[in-house]
Amino acid sequence: MANPILITGAAGRVGGVGRTITELLLQQGQAVRAMVRKEDERAQALRNMGAEVVVGSLLDLDSMHRAIAGCETMYFGMSVSDTYLAATVNAAAVAKHHGVKAFINMSQMTLSQMSITETTASPQHKLHWLAEQALNWSGLPVVHVRPTVFLEGLFLIMTADSVRKSNQIRLPFGDGKTSPVAAEDVARAVAALLMNPQPHIGKTYHPTGPQSENMHFYAQEYSKALGRTITYQDIPVEGWRDGLLQSGQPMHLVDHLTTLANLHRAGRFDRMTDDVLTLTGQVPLSVQEFVRRNAATFTASAKEV
């Protein structure tokens, strides 16, 4: 396979950004090498799409050589992890060795408000910030992509249960505004960058949804999409955090999500750009349309009624 585009995290579950990028590129006739952590049905699904699949770890040097060798363009994305910085530097070192000509890095929007003297309480944010610095220092031809919160995360996983059972969105966001973006829109933006990266080298993009509103507004959007009244119930951050810990979530992830909640309450996510439209030519998915598409997840089954 001549000069395939490397996609790390290609088998990811939540949002499936890497998987969606892989699918979009293959549809455009691009050769794709998809890196996955293990051999399973998701890896086979990628092969069935037409991707070359490499199984390995972002932290393993040999894995990264097998994944990157022969690739001139690559996408780096990794889920929330306390090993995020080590994985980024490992990938960057190997990419530099093999002469990668475009390194598209998935980051986070909060970094636009961080600096050497300003950080947040999230250990993940700090790792992302340090990773961006390391990539910039590396001399690699990098493009940073910093999306806001994903609809598939806090707006699907975190709200589906309460909406289904009590017609309430229960989140600790206060009255803060936010502009959640769909994973498919971020994937389309990244795919566009991978298809023609050179004009974008050295730039940073901030994909958001089409609106920045508070959760009371979004509750009305849920109501329109589902055909029943949905309300927003603000809940205390600490109680929400305790629930995450009791559900068995790792402390690193819980600390990160708690910070996201506090930043929302402080209005730090009240930001919106037209980057998705600029990169893809399409407006991003609205909350109302997203909820409509996932209506079954937000609606009680006959057994639950």
From the CA atom positions of the chain, what is the Rg in Å?
Answer: 19
- Could you give the CA distance from residue 33 to residue 22 in angstroms, rounded to a whole number? 8
- Could you give the CA distance from residue 4 to residue 237 in angstroms, rounded to a whole number? 45
Q: Which of 111-120, 252-261, 293-302 has the lowest mean pLDDT?
A: 293-302
Mean pLDDT of 252-261: 96
DSSP 169-229: EEES-TT--B--B-HHHHHHHHHHHHHS-GGGTT-EE----S--B-HHHHHHHHHHHHTS-
The answer to whether 199 and 262 are in contact (CB under 8 A) is no
Mean pLDDT of 234-246: 96
Q: Give the max Cα distance, the chain.
A: 59
Token couple for 177: 């505004």
Token couple for 28: 């455009």
- Going by pLDDT thresholds of 50, 70 and 90, the confidence category of residue 302 is low
pLDDT of the residue at 15: 58
Whether residue 14 is predicted with pLDDT greater than 80 in this model: the reply is no
Per-residue CA distances from 289 to 13, 14, 43, 52, 101 (Å): 21, 18, 30, 33, 37
Whether residue 305 is predicted with pLDDT greater than 60 in this model: the reply is no
Q: Is 190 left (phi over 0), alpha (psi -120 to 50) or beta?
A: alpha
- Going by pLDDT thresholds of 50, 70 and 90, the confidence category of residue 277 is very high
pLDDT of the residue at 209: 97
DSSP 229-275: --EEEE--HHHHHHHHHHTT--HHHHHHHHHHHHHHHTTTT-----H
**Edge-to-edge strand list for the sheet holding 142-145:** 52-55, 32-36, 5-7, 73-76, 102-106, 142-145, 204-205
- Going by pLDDT thresholds of 50, 70 and 90, the confidence category of residue 295 is very high
pLDDT of the residue at 12: 73
Give percent of the chain with pLDDT exceeding 70.
97
Mean pLDDT of 30-47: 94
Mean pLDDT of 110-130: 96
- List CB contacts of 268: < 8 A, sequence separation 6 or more: 110, 113, 176
- Going by pLDDT thresholds of 50, 70 and 90, the confidence category of residue 188 is very high
Mean pLDDT of 228-245: 97
- Going by pLDDT thresholds of 50, 70 and 90, the confidence category of residue 304 is low
What does pLDDT average to over the chain? 95
The answer to whether 73 and 99 are in contact (CB under 8 A) is no
- Going by pLDDT thresholds of 50, 70 and 90, the confidence category of residue 13 is low
Mean pLDDT of 90-98: 98
Closest CA to 194 of 61, 49, 44, 4: 4
pTM above 0.85, yes or no: yes
- List CB contacts of 232: < 8 A, sequence separation 6 or more: 168, 169, 171, 215, 216, 218, 219
pLDDT of the residue at 64: 97
Whether residue 220 is predicted with pLDDT greater than 60 in this model: the reply is yes
The residues that bridge with 168 in the sheet, in sequence order, are 231
Whether residue 153 is predicted with pLDDT greater than 90 in this model: the reply is no
